[in-house]
């Protein structure tokens, strides 16, 4: 009797372990998403700007400019530890030896060439919704940028978050399968949704996070504490932002608020990249921001 | 107009500083409020240019040139006297000037100079025509933003 109970217990543990192992297994993109026409580096430059890659992957205290050196090294402090942006320049220390599919798996699935999980400091939960053709263009552009031989810094992440396999569970909960704002949006708001939710990953800073570090979709873009500890990242839903669409679009292109104060902090780098996009794209983001449900400031 | 504004701005600064023989002697709270005044004057003139750039106000070459001239004059002011120790966001509640300014004074000064250059470009552009003014707004915003990115504390 005891032996049978023990046997059952062992079977349950093995089963749970097996299910857990399957649930946390890194899953690359399907081949159908990777295959397609070759990337166009010129189009990719715009995707690169919209996705804000350089804002995090240039060396600390370096201006982005026209052809940024993506040497990495910036530190990102979080409740789970401190992450260091890696070198993603086209060099042996960066991603120069990776195939296009390997880079796409990293960006859209958070899976490394050796099949390990990346931490979601890389916003792959958002990039998962990117158009694969845009990603091929992005990779083509990345390969035109200057190489850097900078070695990567290890992340400073304490146990239990140091077990990368656990990131698989986070992905099962947070890797996006659809839009956050599911409504049928008219153009240009639909284009804006693509730019804001997928490439621009606005929600990563403007949406509060739950205890496991996933974004709280019920508070989408409703503002959040600043991870740097200084002040709050603002609520940019119609409940928090009273600017007109034109004012939002102008801010995204020049950094000037309607009162002609300017963007500061991390947003200054975001604006200088968004300024490279065509006017219609900034207008599209503004239209999308008017279409998201208002989060009342009291609920922040 | 431009020259007289430059003289006025310059003499205001001198008047404000006259009792202080040394920059270190300037009271931090006073320094902070003088800096804020400087920023507000820049904001006023950028606002005039911006309203025309956004076509909220009709373009007026003479007004645009005046505002841009003021901005260039404000950008030319040597600010060393009001960035005194003890006036950072760590020291004063009203201050949003991050301590990083004093740790990287050379970089901070080069960003101030970059703003001056963007303001001088605006001075050339603003009186020419609306399209030139509009094109100069981007680099001007970029210059403002590059300093605010590193050195201004986010709003509470």
| pLDDT tens digits along A241-279 | 999 999 999 999 999 999 899 888 889 999 999 999 999
**For range B86-109, the mean pLDDT:** 94
* pLDDT tier, B15 (very low <50, low <70, confident <90, very high otherwise): low
Taking only the tens place, the pLDDT of each residue in A46-76 is: 999 999 999 999 999 888 888 999 999 999 9
Per DSSP, what are the bridge partners of residue A78?
A81
Assess if residue A270 is contained within a domain. yes
Residue A46 structure tokens: 């715009």
CATH number of domain containing B45: 1.20.120.10
Smallest CA–CA distance, residue A253 to chain B, in Å, is: 7
Of A231, A259, A261, the CB nearest to B154: A231
- A106 — alpha (psi -120 to 50), left (phi > 0) or beta? alpha
Taking only the tens place, the pLDDT of each residue in B25-61 is: 689 999 999 999 999 999 999 999 999 999 999 999 9
Render chain A in DSSP notation, one character per residue. Answer: -HHHHHHHHHHHHHHHHHHHHHHT---PPPHHHH-SSPP-HHHHHHHHHHHTHHHHHSPTT----SS-------EEEETTEEEEPPP-SSSTTTTTTS-HHHHHHHHHH-B-TTSPBPPTTS-HHHHTTS-HHHHHHHHHHHTTSPP--PPPPPPB--TTTT-GGGHHHHHHHHS-SS-SS-S-PPTTHHHHHIIIIIIS-THHHHS-B-TTS-B-GGGTTS-EE-TTSSSEEPP-STTT----HHHHHHHHHH-B-TTS-B--HHHHHHHHHHTTS-HHHHHHHHHHHHHSPPPPGGG-
Assess if residue B42 is contained within a domain. yes
Assess if residue B8 is contained within a domain. yes
Q: Provide the residue range defining the domain that includes B40.
A: 2-78+87-151
Spatial CB neighbours of A98, under 8 Å, sequence gap ≥ 6 = A106, A113
Assess if residue A2 is contained within a domain. no
Residues A116 and A151 both lie in one domain: yes
Residue A299's pLDDT is what? 46
Smallest CA–CA distance, residue B26 to chain A, in Å, is: 27
- Determine contact: B38 vs chain A, CB below 8 A: no
Residue of A228, A262, A263 to mutate, interface with B, max B Cβ within 10 Å:
A262
Using 70 as the pLDDT threshold, list the residues of chain A that sit under it.
1-2, 15, 298-300
pLDDT at B23 exceeding the cut of 70: no
Can you tell me the distance from the alpha carbon of A71 to that of A83, in angstroms, rounded to the nearest whole number?
Answer: 15
Which residue from B115, B5, B11 is spatially nearest to B70, judged by alpha carbons?
Answer: B5
Assess if residue A18 is contained within a domain. no
Residue B139's pLDDT is what? 94
Burial class (CB in 10 A: 0-12, 13-18, 19+), B62: exposed
Residues A161 and A225 both lie in one domain: no
Residue B10's pLDDT is what? 61
Assess if residue A9 is contained within a domain. no
Residues A157 and A76 both lie in one domain: yes
Residue B24's pLDDT is what? 55
- Determine contact: A272 vs chain B, CB below 8 A: yes
Residues A187 and A139 both lie in one domain: no
Assess if residue A20 is contained within a domain. no
Can you tell me the distance from the alpha carbon of A180 to that of A193, in angstroms, rounded to the nearest whole number?
Answer: 9
Residue A227's pLDDT is what? 79
Domain count, chain A: 2
- State phi, psi for B116 to the nearest 5 degrees: -55, -45
- A79 — alpha (psi -120 to 50), left (phi > 0) or beta? alpha
Residues written for chain B: 156
Residues A143 and A41 both lie in one domain: yes
* Average pLDDT of chain A, as a whole number: 92
Report the b/e string of A21-58 with b at 16+ CB within 10 A.
eeebebebbeeebbeeeebebebbbbbbbbbbbbbbbb
Assess if residue B156 is contained within a domain. no
Smallest CA–CA distance, residue B12 to chain A, in Å, is: 23
Choose one of A129, A150, A177: the last residue of a domain.
A177
Residues A44 and A128 both lie in one domain: yes
Residue B19's pLDDT is what? 47
pLDDT at B135 exceeding the cut of 70: yes
Alpha helices, DSSP H, located in B18-104: 28-53, 61-76, 100-103
Assess if residue A4 is contained within a domain. no
Taking only the tens place, the pLDDT of each residue in B102-118 is: 999 999 999 999 999 99
Which residue from A80, A174, A84, A185 is spatially nearest to A127, judged by alpha carbons?
Answer: A174
Residues A57 and A148 both lie in one domain: yes
Q: Identify the DSSP state of B153.
A: P
Distances (CA, A) of A209 to A172, A203, A215, A298, B116: 16, 10, 4, 17, 41
Which residue from A189, A284, A285, A289 is spatially nearest to A238, judged by alpha carbons?
Answer: A289
Domain count, chain B: 1
Assess if residue A3 is contained within a domain. no
In chain B, which residue's Cα lies nearest the Cα of A230?
Answer: B154
Residues A163 and A185 both lie in one domain: no
Residues A62 and A116 both lie in one domain: yes
* Average pLDDT of chain B, as a whole number: 88
- Determine contact: B6 vs chain A, CB below 8 A: no
Q: Is the peptide bond before A188 cis (omega within 30 degrees of 0)?
A: yes
- Determine contact: A66 vs chain B, CB below 8 A: no
Q: Provide the residue range defining the domain that includes A219.
A: 181-300
Assess if residue B21 is contained within a domain. yes
Tell me if ipTM is over 0.85: no
The position carrying tokens 């947003």 is A267
């Amino acid at each position: 009797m005891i032996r049978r109970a023990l046997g059952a217990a062992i079977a349950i543990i093995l089963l749970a372990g097996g299910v857990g192992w399957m649930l946390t297994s890194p899953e690359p993109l399907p081949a159908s998403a990777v295959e397609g026409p070759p990337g166009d580096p010129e189009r990719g430059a715009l995707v690169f700007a919209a996705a804000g890659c350089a804002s995090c992957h240039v060396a600390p205290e370096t201006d982005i400019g026209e052809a940024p050196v993506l040497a990495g090294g910036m530190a990102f402090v979080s409740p789970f530890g401190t992450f260091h942006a890696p070198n993603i320049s086209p060099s042996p220390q960066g991603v120069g030896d990776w195939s296009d599919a390997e880079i796409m798996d990293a960006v859209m699935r958070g899976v490394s060439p050796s099949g390990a999980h990346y931490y979601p400091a890389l916003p792959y939960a958002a990039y998962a919704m990117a158009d694969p053709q845009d990603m091929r263009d992005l990779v083509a552009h990345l390969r035109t940028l200057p190489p850097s031989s900078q070695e990567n810094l290890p992340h400073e992440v304490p146990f239990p978050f140091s077990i990368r396999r656990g990131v698989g569970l986070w992905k099962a909960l947070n890797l996006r399968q659809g839009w956050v704002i599911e409504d049928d949006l008219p153009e240009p708001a639909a284009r804006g949704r693509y730019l804001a939710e997928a490439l621009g990953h606005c929600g990563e800073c403007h949406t509060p996070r739950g205890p496991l570090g996933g974004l709280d979709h019920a508070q989408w873009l409703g503002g959040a504490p600043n991870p740097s500890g200084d002040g709050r990242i603002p609520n940019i839903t119609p409940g928090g932002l009273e600017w007109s669409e034109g004012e939002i679009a102008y801010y995204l292109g020049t950094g000037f608020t309607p009162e002609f104060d300017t963007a500061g902090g991390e947003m200054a780098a975001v604006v200088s990249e968004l300024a490279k996009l065509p006017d219609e794209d900034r207008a599209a983001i503004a239209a999308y921001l008017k279409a998201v449900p208002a989060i009342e400031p009291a609920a922040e | 107009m431009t020259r007289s504004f430059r003289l006025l701005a310059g003499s205001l600064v001198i008047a404000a500083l006259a009792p202080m023989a040394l920059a270190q002697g300037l009271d931090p709270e006073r320094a902070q409020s003088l800096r804020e005044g400087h920023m507000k004057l820049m904001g006023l003139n950028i606002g005039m240019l911006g309203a025309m750039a956004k076509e909220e106000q009709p373009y007026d070459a003479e007004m645009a040139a005046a505002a841009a001239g003021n901005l260039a004059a404000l950008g030319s002011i040597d600010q060393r006297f009001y960035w005194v120790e003890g006036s950072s966001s760590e020291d004063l509640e009203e201050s949003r000037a991050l301590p990083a300014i004093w740790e990287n004074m050379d970089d901070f000064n080069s960003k101030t100079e970059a703003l001056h250059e963007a303001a001088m470009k605006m001075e050339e552009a603003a009186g020419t025509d609306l399209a030139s003014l509009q094109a100069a707004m981007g680099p001007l915003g970029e210059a403002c933003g590059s300093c605010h990115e590193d050195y201004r504390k986010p709003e509470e």
